[in-house]
Amino acid sequence: MSGKATPRAMHLLRSLEWILLTSGVILVCSYAAMRLYSFVAAHVVMAAFQQGSASLFSAHSDSDMAGGAAGINTSLWSDKRIHAYNASLSHAFGTPLALLSIPKIHLEVPVFDGTDDLTLDRGVGRIVGTAHPGQPGNLGIAGHRDGFFRGLKDVAPGDEIKLVFPDAEATYVVDQITVVTPQDVSVLQPGPISSITLVTCFPFYFVGSAPERYIVSASLRADAQPAVRGFVRPNP
């Protein structure tokens, strides 16, 4: 037998090379397209959120609101959450109950009433059965771990959390951070002073349904107590 390849074999080899080369080019182009889409989508989210934040409460200047929104790093978000946020923009939402601000992680996000999927795609939500913003008690606020609340991983005791209203602002200080099971609702029980409890799933980068809950507990700063007593919950 001759060691030389037959014309038919050479033709098959050239065809295979062409197929592999074409497949490689398609994969590279697909990857580049996905990266470009992710980049554009992230900036769309940033622009939309900045615009929404700037008009959230007319009492706040555009520059104040834009400054906080511009600091949100949506590159930490999952692609799924970015797409869900974009989809939520086509739905009408009522006036937020308040604006949640965490200066350390440059977060400003509207607080809506309820924790259904659509609400948490658009912002964060008051947990039903907990206190309303600006009223005594323990206000529970839930958010997605791969979206607005992913930055909670960098929050520490002593950090400030603010609730912003059209004509007032309340400052809370983080007391502790704990991890509990989904069944442990004791963290939402009211204490002797007004407080906020932020809740998200944990671990932050767990694949699938996360088995635990990450809890950030904060108490109203002592010098803010008199002002908060005078707050009136915004009309929906």
Q: Which residues are catalytic?
A: 144, 201
CA-based nearest residue to 48, from 28, 66, 60, 63: 66
User: Which DSSP symbol is given to 232?
Assistant: -
For residue 88 the two structure tokens come to 């939520």
Nearest to 70 by CA among 87, 83, 51: 51
Do 101 and 57 touch, CB atoms closer than 8 A?
no
CA distance 54 to 60: 8
Closest among 192, 193, 198, 191 to 176, alpha carbons compared: 198
Residue 44 vs residues 30, 32, 83, 106, 158: alpha-carbon distances, Å: 21, 18, 10, 18, 33
Q: What 3-state DSSP class applies to 180? A: strand
Note whether 139 and 198 are within 8 A (CB): no
